[in-house]
Amino acid sequence: MKKDIEIPVSKNVYLGVIHEWNDEFLEKTWNAYIINDRDTPIEGVIAVSTGYKGDQKTSTMRHGLGEVSAKSYRKIELLQEEVLSFNNEFFVTYFADNKLYEKRFVFEKNSIQESNLTLLPVMETEGVIAK
Q: Has residue 28 been placed in a domain?
A: yes
**Cβ of 125: how many Cβ atoms within 10 Å?**
14
CATH number of residue 118's parent domain: 2.60.40.10
Q: Has residue 6 been placed in a domain?
A: yes
Q: Has residue 109 been placed in a domain?
A: yes
The answer to whether 61 and 51 have CB atoms below 8 angstroms apart is no
Domain assignment of residue 70, given as a range: 2-122
Q: Has residue 128 been placed in a domain?
A: no
Q: How many domains does the chain have?
A: 1
Q: Has residue 127 been placed in a domain?
A: no
- Which pLDDT belongs to residue 131? 87
- Which pLDDT belongs to residue 78? 95
Q: Has residue 129 been placed in a domain?
A: no
Q: Has residue 17 been placed in a domain?
A: yes
Q: How far apart are CA 122 and CA 44, in angstroms?
A: 20
- Which pLDDT belongs to residue 19? 95
- Which pLDDT belongs to residue 7? 78
Reading the chain (131 residues) residue by residue, the pLDDT tens digits are: 667 777 789 999 999 999 999 888 789 999 999 999 999 999 999 999 999 999 999 999 999 999 999 999 999 999 999 999 999 999 999 999 999 999 999 999 999 999 999 999 999 999 999 98
Residues in the chain: 131
- Which pLDDT belongs to residue 1? 62
Q: How far apart are CA 66 and CA 35, in angstroms?
A: 13
